[in-house]
Amino acid sequence: MVHIFRSADAERVTRAGYEARYIADLTFMQSLDNCGVILVEIKGTGRSSPHSHEQLQEVFVALTEISIYVDGICHNLKQGDVVMVEPGENHSFASKTGGSGLLLALKFPNIKDDKVVPSRGSED
């Protein structure tokens, strides 16, 4: 089940010289020894191709306002929101503003060939 953590809901904590918001405590399905980190840019009014993963969990951090579609449901994200997608959950992204949408994708574990593209007619 997709988990969405809203940065606006996170408590602000003042530290020496900075302010922090602890947005999410994440629990992974397996013991991990690696992680892939990817900067994703959705240009203009573009949308990424829907896909899922057989084994890996993905965590996305919205760097701009962006929409994520998970199993056909659109979730509008604001900067700093965190989303955790489980294996088998079909997901894609779309820019919200007509400008570029940016997000940081973290793959746990870092399995490079774990992408599953849905058959035609079953997208999102």
3-state secondary structure (DSSP) of residue 9 = helix
Average pLDDT, the chain: 91
CATH architecture of 3-112: Sandwich (2.60)
Q: 100-119 in b/e burial notation, b at 16+ Cβ within 10 A?
A: ebbbebbbbbeeeebeeeee
Quote the pLDDT of residue 121. 52
| Residues 13-46 pLDDT 10s | 999 999 999 999 999 988 889 999 999 999 888 8
- Domain-wise residue ranges, the chain: 3-112
Percent of the chain scoring above 90 in pLDDT: 73
Mean pLDDT of 1-14: 94
Quote the pLDDT of residue 76. 96
HSE, CB side, 13 Å, CA atoms: give it for residue 33: 0
